[in-house]
Chains A and B, each alone.
Chain A
């Protein structure tokens, strides 16, 4: 087995050398080619659905001769595991909560924002999300909320706190997302703890809270369609949910509202990173610049009900439902939400173990 590994190392070494040679060659052309004449190819590791041309239409139109290939990742851990295993994608798409690891493991290249013509359209609080250790490693692209989605006909009194997810009053009609770190987030909001500094004692208290919550929880949802169906049928009255489910149910005419808890909503942001060592760095930057352009952003808002990091796109929304979904009538909404912080691999590990024990508890 040992020789197998050393073969692997040699193979990796050779590949690295090859990349070096190729990148040296790539640096040669001195004159910029016009976008329409630009050739080359890019590989993007993205989520299912984002490979649709609507979500990179500006790049397609500006650089028609560049080939873009997509690899599909199933989830953040899947994308992370793929990149860690040496995936050769030039660009990848993680979400907040998963950014620190890429920097710690040396998998991501710093972004040269001076090459991004659309960078000015991104508000500062989004830019900050992509910064780690003071450097811009990621380009923010899509975002949304997490909060409590509830049926207004079943809960006419409304919901004003995250604690409702653990309230015995709603026994048998609650649905939590099947995700340990989010359970830690919710508990931290309720207790006013800093979720990046959870102590072992606090973690065991959180574990007990969610073990007790199981008696109230009808089902943990894994995918949004599952949640949509359970809420539309009336089995679930309130759930941890993203704004996408809210938009879907609104469009189906289901009486639902999206809470503004006193502990504030949670916000998450999807970002793009460029793989360290890619030979297509410049082309990748061009791709990300076009990702931030307006037509692409509009498609994300209208088709996925996700927000765009391009402020012009958000200001341009006229549809009443969508305005409601993104709380656009409250221009400061993003200032009073809690952005998902960066956590370390050890924290994530401990939280997932906690959640596994919640699910395995008698």
Chain B
């Protein structure tokens, strides 16, 4: 498919049309406006495959879901008997508990992402500045949990927190408690604890990348000017690593709002998140329209929250 350089030169300057250009119009235009054909072939070779991939498996599914959310009922085959209507959204709007759960899930995601970032920052700091030659080894150790399945790691927390689990057994053995603590597992705290654990290695990577980019000369200059380590950290390290911190925060926050596997396994009867409700309508009720409406609302809420967050943080940046 038009891979070789020669081929793309002979291709008649095509109207690169199609869904991709709508969404990623900027990219397409840039490629075309370029003076030489080189840019165009660069575009074709480097950007087109991922754009097609994203268009097919990301954009079209989201558009389909948006379309489904306006479908009034579930009668008829998937693409037949479409009655348009807003009643799925009306159902959601009328059900106060869904909104409450969305708020609770956002709050949980906020707590989880802030904790994961705060806990992974020292890890990344150590790897970037103090691990020396062993940094590679430590990085591998940090990533070791990824070698096991996600489900298995969550199940491991069940073994840790259960009434006859590791923590309870240890506390009972040492005589700290007489009866096993039942409050450890099957509640919201267990969900938060497990998710923080799961996300720490993810959050550490972008922070590490940002820290590694900081020039050593900056620290030397600061030291020459008499800055103490605390001031060096506050004036150089932290501000320069903020992009990484932000990236880490969003990398945790966005997927966590829609999380549903962990609450299902360790959340008990009262630890459910908004994602569980969406999952129920897709997989248990075969009610895709309502599930889609719930998803679109979550998508909108996430976008708004992210927008607000970026605004707030930019303000702070300016103040610095």
User: Whole-angstrom distance from the CB of A193 to the nearest CB of chain B?
Assistant: 21
Q: Is A349 an interface residue (CB 8 A)?
A: yes
Within residues 202 to 254 of chain B, which ones have a CB less than 8 A from any CB in chain A?
Answer: none
- Confirm or deny: A85 has a beta carbon within 8 angstroms of a beta carbon on chain B: yes
* Also in contact, A357 and B77, with CB within 8 A (given A77-B285, A219-B269, A233-B164): no
Mask for A86-130, Cβ within 8 A of B = 1, else 0?
A: 100000000000000000010000000000000000000000000
Partner of A359, one of B162, B277, B287, B290: B277
B302 within 8 A of A: no
Q: Which of A77, A78, A84, A178 contacts B78 (CB 8 A)?
A: A84
**Cα A84 to Cα B288 with chains together (Å):** 12
B186 A219 Cβ-Cβ under 8 A? yes
A233 touches B163 (CB 8 A): yes
Task: Among B79, B95, B284, point to the contact of A357 (Cβ < 8 A).
Answer: B95
Contact B280 A86 (CB under 8 A): no
Verify if B91 is at the interface (C-beta below 8 Å from A). yes
Contact with B along A327-362 (1 / 0, CB 8 A): 000000000000000000100110011011101111
Q: Does chain B have a CB within 8 A of A71?
A: no
- Chain B residues in 8 Å Cβ range of A234: 163-164
Q: How many residues of B contact A (CB 8 A)?
A: 36
Looking at the assembled complex, report how far the CB atom of B242 sits from the nearest CB atom of chain A, in whole angstroms: 36
- Contact A75:B284 (CB < 8 A) given known A217-B269, A360-B100: yes
B107 to chain A minimum Cβ distance, whole angstroms, is 13
Please give the distance in Å from B154's CB to the nearest CB on chain A: 12
Interface positions of A from 1 to 15, Cβ below 8 Å from B: 1, 5, 8-9
A55 at the binding interface (Cβ < 8 Å) = no
Size band of the A side of the interface? Answer: 35 or more
- Taking a contact as CB atoms under 8 Å apart, the answer to whether B100 and A362 are in contact is yes
Residue B38 at the A interface, CB < 8 A? Answer: no
A185-212 CB contacts (< 8 Å) to partner B: none
Asked if A84 contacts B283 (CB within 8 A), the reply is no
**A214, B277: Cα distance in complex, Å:** 16
B283 adjacent to A74 (CB under 8 Å): yes
User: In the complex, A359→B100 CA distance in Å?
Assistant: 12
CB-based contact B286/A80 at 8 Å: yes
B264 within 8 Å of A (CB atoms): yes
Query: Pick the contact of B280 from A172, A218, A219, A356 — CB < 8 Å?
Result: A356
Known: A180-B284, A235-B162. A360 touches B98 (CB 8 A): yes
CA distance A352 to B269 in the complex (A): 16
Please state if A352 and B277 are interface contacts (CB–CB under 8 Å). no
Which residue of chain B has the shortest Cβ distance to A174 in the bound complex? B269
The number of A-B residue pairs with CB atoms under 8 Å apart is 90
The chain B residue sitting closest to A80, CB to CB, is: B286
**A357 adjacent to B162 (CB under 8 Å):** no
Residue among B67, B268, B272, B286 facing the most chain A CB atoms (10 A cut-off)? B286
* Contact B78 A360, beta carbon cutoff 8 Å: no
What is the CB-to-nearest-CB distance from A356 to chain B, in angstroms, rounded to a whole number? 5
Q: Is the CB of A5 within 8 A of B269?
A: no
- Residues on B with C-beta less than 8 A from A78 are 283, 286
Taking CB atoms, residues of chain B closer than 8 Å to A179 are 284
Q: Are A359 and B164 in contact (CB under 8 A)?
A: no
**Residue B281 is within 8 A (CB to CB) of chain A in the complex:** yes
Q: Once the chains are docked, how many angstroms separate the CA of A86 from the CA of B77?
A: 8
Q: Which residues of A lie under 8 Å from residue B283 when comparing CB positions?
A: 74-75, 77-78
Contacts of A1 in B (CB 8 A): 67
Q: In the complex the two chains form, is A348's CB within 8 Å of B97's CB? A: no
Which residues of B120-179 are within 8 A (CB) of A?
Answer: 162-164
Q: How near does chain B come to A177, taking the closest CB pair, in angstroms? A: 11
CA distance A58 to B160 in the complex (A): 46
Contact of B77 among A84, A226, A355 (CB under 8 A): A84
Whether B286 pairs with A77 at a CB distance below 8 angstroms is yes
Is the beta-carbon distance between B285 and A349 smaller than 8 angstroms? yes
Cβ of A222 and Cβ of B264 under 8 Å apart?
yes
A-B contact pairs, 12 of them (CB 8 A): A77-B286, A220-B269, A234-B163, A235-B162, A345-B74, A353-B285, A355-B280, A356-B280, A357-B95, A360-B277, A361-B97, A362-B100
Across the A-B interface, the 4 shortest Cβ-Cβ residue pairs: A352-B285, A77-B286, A360-B97, A217-B269
Q: A1-B67, A362-B100 are in contact. List 4 more A-B contacts (CB 8 A).
A: A85-B77, A222-B264, A233-B164, A360-B95
Q: Which residues of A contact B (CB under 8 A)?
A: 1, 5, 8-9, 74-75, 77-78, 80-81, 84-86, 105, 172, 178-180, 214, 217-220, 222, 226, 233-235, 345, 348-349, 352-353, 355-357, 359-362
